[in-house]
Amino acid sequence: MKEADEKPVHRRQFIKAGLHTTAALAIGGLAGMALSKSAPANLVWQIDPDKCIQCERCATNCVLNPSAVKCVHKYAMCGYCDLCGGYHRPGTKNLDTAAESQQCPTGAINRTFIEEPYFQYTIDEKLCIGCGKCVKGCGSFGNGSLFLQVRHDRCVNCNECAIAKSCPADAFVRVPANKPYLFRGGVAGAEPPNPLSGEAS
Amino acid sequence: MNYKLFIKIIPIVFILLAAGFAGFWFFYDPTARFSESVPGMDNRPERSGGLLSTVKIGEFFQRFNGVAAQLRGSWPRFRGSNFDNFSNETANMNWAGGAPKILWSVELGEGHAAPAIHKGRVYVLDYDEANHADALRCFSLLTGEEIWRRWYNNPMKRNHGLSRTIPAVTDKYVITIGPQCHVMCVDADSGSFRWGIDLVQQYNAQVPLWYTGQCPLIDDSLAIIATGGDALMIAVSCKTGRVVWSTPNPGNWQMSHSSVIPVTFHNKKMYIYCSIGGIAGISAAGEDVGQIIWQSTAWSHNVIAPSPVFMEDGRIFVTAGYGAGAMLLQLREENNVWSAEVITKTLPKDGLSSEQQTPILYKGHLFCVLPKDAGPLRNQFVCCNPQDITKYVWTSDKTNRFGLGPFIFVDNKFFILSDEGELTVIEASIKGYKQLARAKVLEGPDAWGPIAVADSRMLLRDSKRMVCIEI
C-alpha cells in the first residue's frame, strides 16, 4: 500500500530539483559573501580628530611604547608654509631645522624645501610618540592638516584601550575595522592619508 | 681532576666576561645612530625675489564703463581717517528680513586685500589671477562698476591668498604696496601712473611670509613706507617719487605685516612701527625728521600683523599671533630723550592678544577677537581695560566665537565679521556683550580683509568676493 501511494521521481524532475538547490545555494552563498564584505567583522579604536584636544595622554597611556598613536598629515589641507605652526616652536626666531626651532620633542617631522614659497612636512613615524604638540600648533595657527590617529599596523586593539579610558575629550571611538581611519569632518578611510597623492584613500 | 679543572676555568670565564663587558661599556656608543637637527637640513636656498627679475610697475592701464559716484564720504586708508577704525557714519540697521541689503558685489582674486573709499570711488589692489598681475582697480561706490584698472605683471604663487593690503588715497594720489613689495603711485581720478619703487630691488627688503601686509600711509603728500633692509622707513614725495628722507636701519630689521601709525605725544609727531626686529618711533617732523628717536627690541616676533595701538598717556599696546601674545609699553620723554619701557607682557592663553586684526580703543578699553591659542576664550570678542591686560571686562562667551575676520566701530556699534562671512552687530559698550543683529553677507572662507565704511555703505570681502551692503 505504502509503495503504491508514493509517486515515482523521474530523472528530469530529480535533475531540475538538483539545479534549483544548487542555484539557491549559490545565491545564498553570494549573498552571504556580500554581507560579510559589507558588515564589519569587528571594530577597532580610532581618534576622532574633531574631538581631540591634544592633551598628550596618547603618548603616555598606550600599552605600547612608543604609542600606537601617531601624527598623520593630510597634505591636501596643508598650506606648505615657511612658518609652520606644527613644525616651529611658538616664538622661534629662525625658520630653520635647528632642534631649538622645532616643536616636536623627538624631531619626528622632516621639513623639505619644495619651491618658493613652499615647504613640505613629513612625519617620521618611527620617531613620532603621538604627543600631539604639532597637531595643537597646526590647529592653532594653520589649516589643521596634522592630526593624531591610531595606526593599525601597530595597535594591538585591546578590548579596553588604556588611552580611550583616560581620554578627557571622549575622542576615542570604535570604528569598523575595514575603514579604521577618521579624518576631519567625520570622513572615514581605509588607509591613513597617503603622502604621495595627498588625499585620503 | 675534572673538578679541579672546572674550578680553574670558572674565574677565567668570569674574567673574560668582565673584560668583554668592560670593553663593550667603554667602546659602545649609544648615540652613534643619533643625528643632529641643525639649520639647513631643509635644503632651503638663498631667498630670492619674485618670479620676474624686473617688474614694470604700473605698466598697463584699462578703462571701463563705470563712472565715479557723486558721493563725498571717505575711508581713505587702513583703519580710516584717524587710524582708529572708527566711522562717523550712521548705521540705521533697517535690515529687511534681518539681513542687510546687498547693493552690489564683485569677484576678486584670491586674497585679503581690502578697499579704501574716497569721494564715490572704491580702490582695491587686487591680484588678477588670469594675467598674473597686481591690479589697482577703481570702482564706483554707487554701482560697483569698474572705472579703470592700473596693473603690472607680477607672477606669484598662492600662499594663503595673494593680495592683502589696502591703498592709501587722497584727493590727488593713490599709493599701493603690492604683495611682493612693489610700491605704486597713481593719480586718484584718472589712474595715470606717477612712479613706482621695487622695495626688494632698491632697498633689499625681504618679502614677508605670506606676502606683504603693510598698508601704506600718505601724510602731508609724503608716502610713508616701512621698507626694512637697507632702510627702516622712507618718505617719498607723492608728486615726484623722490625719496625725501630715509631712516637708517643699523639693526637690519625687516618688514612685518604691521602698518605705520602716526602719533603725536608731548608735541612731537612720530611714526610708530613694529618691524621684525623691534619697535621704533621715527621723528615725523623737525630737524630730526626721519631719525629713530626711540626703539626697543623687547617686542620682536617672526610674524606681526596688528598695528600698534597708541593711548593718550603714552602707553603702546602691541600684539601678534603665533604664540607671541601682547605687550604694553610706556613711552616717556624727558629733556628730549625718549624711551619705551615694557610695562607688562602676556601670552595668548593668559591675556589680551590678537593674531591678525588691530584692536580698537574705545572709552579707554581695548576690544578684539582672541586668537585660537587663547585657551577656553579662543576666538571670543573681548573687552579689556588696559590697566590689566590679563583680565577681561567681558567676553562674548563660548556661543559667540569669531575668527581672524575684521571688526569696526560704526554708530556706537561693533560690526564683527567671521571667517565664513557672517556679520554680527553688537552694542559698543564696556558693560557687556549685547548682540543686535547677525546675518550672512559673504560665503567665505577667509573673510579677513578689513572693513571700509563711507556714505552709509559698508564694504566687506571674503577670499574671492567683495560686497557692498547698506547699513
Mean pLDDT of B414-424: 97
pLDDT grade, residue B182 (50/70/90)? very high
Which residue, among B436, B409, B461, has the nearest Cα to B82 in the 3D structure? B409
Residue-range domain boundaries for chain A:
2-38, 43-189
- ipTM at complex level: 0.79
Q: Beta B86-87 vs B407-410: how paired, if at all? A: parallel
Which string of DSSP letters, residue by residue, matches B364-404? TEEEEE--TTSGGGTTBEEEE-TT-TTS-SEE--TTSB--S
Q: Euclidean distance between the first and final Cα of chain A, in Å?
A: 71
pLDDT higher at B407 or A40: B407
Per-residue pLDDT, A1 = 44
Residues of A in contact with B41 (CB under 8 A): 97, 111
| Residue B331 and residue B294 in contact, taking contact as beta carbons nearer than 8 Å | yes
Confidence of residue B225 (pLDDT cuts 50, 70, 90): very high
Contact yes or no for B419/B374 (Cβ under 8 A): no
Give the pLDDT confidence score for residue A34 in this predicted structure: 63
Closest-CA distance of chain B to residue A92, Å: 7
What is the C-alpha separation between B442 and A55, in angstroms, rounded? 35
**What are the backbone angles phi and psi of residue B76, rounded to the nearest 5°?**
-80, 0
| Block residue for cell numbers 570711488 | B121
Compute the nearest-CA separation of B335 from chain A (Å).
35
Residue A198 is predicted with a pLDDT of 39
Contact residues, chain A, for B322 at CB < 8 Å:
83, 85, 90-91, 141
Nearest CA in chain A to B49: A116
Best A80, A96, A126 member to test B by mutation, with max B CBs in 10 Å, is A96
DSSP letter, residue A201: -
Q: Which residue of chain A comes nearest to B370, CA vs CA?
A: A140
A131 DSSP assignment: -
Question: Is residue B469 over pLDDT 70?
Answer: yes
Predicted local distance difference test score (pLDDT) of residue A37 = 54
Residue B118's H or E segment, with its range, is strand B116-118
| The pLDDT of residue A201 | 35
B192 CA: distance to closest CA in chain A (Å): 33
| Beta sheet of B193-198, edge-to-edge order | B168-169, B173-177, B182-187, B193-198
- Distance CA(B178)–CA(B175), nearest Å, equals 10
**Quick one: pLDDT at residue B51?**
58
- The pLDDT of B410-429, averaged and rounded, is 97
Structural domains of chain B in order of their starting residue, each with its CATH number: 51-470 (2.130.10.10)
pLDDT of residue A2: 47
Residues shown for chain A:
201
Give pLDDT tens digits for B264-277: 999 999 999 999 99
Interface test with A, best of B34, B36, B37, B207 (most A CBs within 10 A): B37
Q: Give A109 to chain B, closest Cα distance, Å.
A: 11
The C-alpha cell at B159 is 600662499
- Segment B277-297 shows an average pLDDT of 97
Interface of B with A in 5-64 (CB under 8 A): 36-45, 48
Asked if residues B330 and B370 have their Cβ atoms less than 8 Å apart, the reply is no
Q: What are the mean pLDDT values of chain A's consecutive 10-residue runs (201 residues total)?
A: 60 81 79 58 90 95 96 91 93 90 95 93 94 94 92 92 95 93 83 53 35
CA–CA distance, B142 with B341 (Å, rounded to integer): 48
Partners of A172 in the beta sheet? Answer: A47
Chain A and chain B share a number of CB contacts under 8 A equal to 76
pLDDT tens readout for residues B434-468: 999 999 999 999 999 999 999 999 999 999 999 99
Give the pLDDT confidence score for residue B31 in this predicted structure.
Answer: 84
pLDDT tens sequence across B196-205 = 999 999 999 9
Q: What is the mean pLDDT of residues B211-218?
A: 97
Residue B220, pLDDT score: 93
3-state secondary structure of B15: helix
CB contact under 8 A, B48 and A116: yes
Q: What is the pLDDT of residue A33?
A: 67
Q: What percent of chain B has pLDDT over 90?
A: 90
Q: What is the pTM of this model?
A: 0.85
* Interchain CB distance below 8 Å, B157 and A97: no
Tell me if residue A23 falls in helix, strand or coil.
helix
Q: Convert the pLDDT of each residue in B248-258 to its tens digit.
A: 999 999 999 99
Q: Does the beta-carbon distance from B324 to A90 stay under 8 Å?
A: yes
Digit-coded pLDDT (tens) for A126-183: 999 999 999 999 998 888 999 999 999 999 999 999 999 999 999 999 999 999 999 8
Strand-pairing partners, residue B117, are B75, B122
pLDDT of residue A199: 41
Q: How far apart are CA B384 and CA B392, in angstroms?
A: 5
pLDDT at B49 over 70: no
pLDDT surpasses 70 at B47: no
Residues of B within 8 A of A102 (CB-CB) are 37
**Minimum CA–CA partner of A80 in chain B:** B159
Strand partners, B235: B224, B245
Alpha carbon distance A82, B412 (integer Å): 41
Q: Do B323 and A90 touch (CB under 8 A)?
A: yes
**Chain B residue closest in CA terms to A82:** B209
Task: Flag the least confident range among A134-138, B95-99, B149-153, B433-437.
Answer: B95-99
B278 pLDDT band, cuts 50/70/90, is: very high
How many angstroms separate the CA atoms of B204 and B234, rounded?
A: 13
Q: Do B322 and A141 touch (CB under 8 A)?
A: yes
Q: What is the mean pLDDT of residues B420-432?
A: 97
Residue with cell 603690492: B178
More reliable by pLDDT, B6 or B254: B254
DSSP H or E segment with residue A163: helix A162-166
Label each residue of chain A as H, E or C.
Answer: CHHHHCCCCCHHHHHHHHHHHHHHHHHHHHHHHHHHHHCCCCEEEEECCCCCCCCCHHHHHCCCCCCCEEEEECHHHCCCCCCCCCCECCCCCCCCCCHHHECCCCCCEEEEEEECCEEEEEECCCCCCCCCHHHHHHHHHCCCCEEEEECCCCCCCCCCCHHHHHCCCCCEEEEECCCCEEECCCEEECCCCCCCCCCCC
